[in-house]
Amino acid sequence: MTDTDESYDFDLFVIGAGSGGVRAARMSAQHGARVAVAEQQYLGGTCVNVGCVPKKLFVYAASFHHEFTSAVGFGWQVPPASFDWSVLRDNKNTEIARLNGIYANLLDNAGVKLFSARAVIEGPHEVLVDGQKITCRYILVCTGGQPYVPDFPGSEHVITSDQAFFLDELPEVITVVGGGYISVEFAGIFNGLGVETHLVYRGPLFLKQFDQDLRSNLAEQMQEKGIHLHFDTDINSILKQGDSLVSTLSDGSSLDSRLIMYATGRKPNVESLGLEKTAVRIDDRGAVVVDDKFQTDEPSIYAIGDVIGRVELTPVAIQEGMILAANLFDNGDAIMDYDFIPTAVFSQPNLGTVGYTEQQARELFGKVEIYRSKFSPLKETLGGGADKILMKLIVDTETDRVVGCHMLGEGAGEIIQGLAVAIKAGATKSDFDATVGIHPSAAEEFVTMRVPI
């Protein structure tokens, strides 16, 4: 049990009920703290409402396109398939509303007081919410982030992923801008749902933090699926002409679309929070500055999740929330370990990764061994699709430790999650070699690669 301080209304006041905030609130309450949460919009934050969860549902929807075609080779007679966007969108909305309810129950069952309103910080130990001044021993800021769109002529005509989840109808042609997770995932979604899809990215090849080999293979496979990739290209301006949006590109050419979605990064939500009434510092990217215990320059105020701009991933925010709750209310003294965080881009096919890319490992370790395998999945032999699987293991020659594990292919997110436990635990290539495969599976290839390239 924690030592609660009855001179305050609450021990912890959490601003923002996203993945990190909800977990921090629940865990703190379980450790015996008296906790309140304020959420001005929807429970579950970006991930549940306009991020991971609805995105993954859309990825499933888009993948049926390929399944219908493959089914023919397995003997199925499939009548021409048609797709109804409104059914997908509305079913998704129903499911998200169900999840919002589950989040409310989780907080309620944990004894956390929920304010469905905006909270503003009044001082180091005080917030204003629902017209009430509330005192608290600690404040936790986990207000997340929001899409960033650069300012340029015609930028008022574009949407972001926030709106893409609720479109009235699908456009005939879409341009998606950016080379990060969101643009790549949404390009796959729109293309799979039958929209002519263009991806415009200012760099030479998207997903620059991932292994070069997998990036270029993904680009090839996306092109084979019909996505138009425009690399080394930016949009200079957009003109609305009737129902068309005409983009003038940096090479002087123009591109017509019905909808343009910008996925050019996200910025932390720190506006009008009252932070100026405290010693909390904001860095030049707009993120709240915290130390390795998530404490801001105002000792009673902490921050976690996207608002601190470290690693913008839901499971990271959740882990940060659990560590903080234990540190504040359960005599914990842990520091978040950001090494070997697995991650996946739910592109088509998926790209999953943990550890260092080949390029990073060469710089960091000097001598590395690269194990690489590229093959057609068994399913495609009858399915007739062109999808390929690419797997790579990066091994530090000196220690034999596997320091990078990468996969492009169906199920990569699932497979890499499992392997991430081994990689995080320090598995060596000999450990991989000593592991028996599951046959026939794609994942067995990770334990049967013997000859470095």
The nearest distance, CB 368 to ligand NDP, in angstroms, is: 25
The nearest distance, CB 245 to ligand NDP, in angstroms, is: 16
The reply to whether 210 sits near ligand NDP by the rule CB under 6 A is: no
∠ Cα 245 268 305 (to 5°)? 125
The nearest distance, CB 302 to ligand NDP, in angstroms, is: 21
Structure tokens at 380: 């495609």
The nearest distance, CB 215 to ligand NDP, in angstroms, is: 11
The reply to whether 266 sits near ligand NDP by the rule CB under 6 A is: yes
Q: CA distances (Å), 396 to each of 356, 367, 384, 429, in order? A: 10, 7, 38, 9
Residue (27 or 261) nearer to ligand NDP, CB: 261
Structure tokens at 434: 């000593």
The reply to whether 310 sits near ligand NDP by the rule CB under 6 A is: no
The reply to whether 346 sits near ligand NDP by the rule CB under 6 A is: yes
Structure tokens at 249: 């590109």
How many C-beta atoms lie closer than 10 Å to residue 147's C-beta? 21
Nearest Cα to Cα of residue 150 among 244, 259, 228, 236 = 236
Structure tokens at 259: 């909808």
Nearest Cα to Cα of residue 196 among 219, 178, 176, 172 = 172
SS3 423: helix
Distance CA 299, CA 17 (A): 22
In contact, 271 and 144? CB cutoff 8 Å: no
In contact, 296 and 302? CB cutoff 8 Å: yes
The nearest distance, CB 199 to ligand NDP, in angstroms, is: 10
Catalytic residue list contains 157 = no
Contacts with ligand NDP by CB under 6 A: the residue count is: 22
* Region binding ligand NDP by CB under 6 A among candidate stretches 78-86, 176-184, 351-359, 362-370: 176-184
Residue (162 or 234) nearer to ligand NDP, CB: 234
Lay out the site mask for ligand NDP across 179-208 (x = CB under 6 A, - = otherwise).
xxxxx-x----------------xx----x
Lay out the site mask for ligand NDP across 236-265 (x = CB under 6 A, - = otherwise).
---------------------------xxx
Distance CA 101, CA 98 (A): 5
In contact, 401 and 210? CB cutoff 8 Å: no
The nearest distance, CB 223 to ligand NDP, in angstroms, is: 18
Within 135-164, the residues that bind ligand NDP by CB under 6 A are 150
Residue (108 or 283) nearer to ligand NDP, CB: 283
Residue (345 or 389) nearer to ligand NDP, CB: 345
How many C-beta atoms lie closer than 10 Å to residue 315's C-beta? 16
Peptide bond into 440 cis (omega under 30): yes
Among 313, 390, 402, 403, binds ligand NDP (CB under 6 A): 313
- The amino acid that residue 100 corresponds to is N
* Region binding ligand NDP by CB under 6 A among candidate stretches 66-74, 107-115, 210-218, 344-352: 344-352
Query: Contact residues for ligand NDP (CB under 6 A)?
Result: 150, 178-183, 185, 202-203, 208, 234, 263-266, 312-313, 343-346
The catalytic residue positions are 439
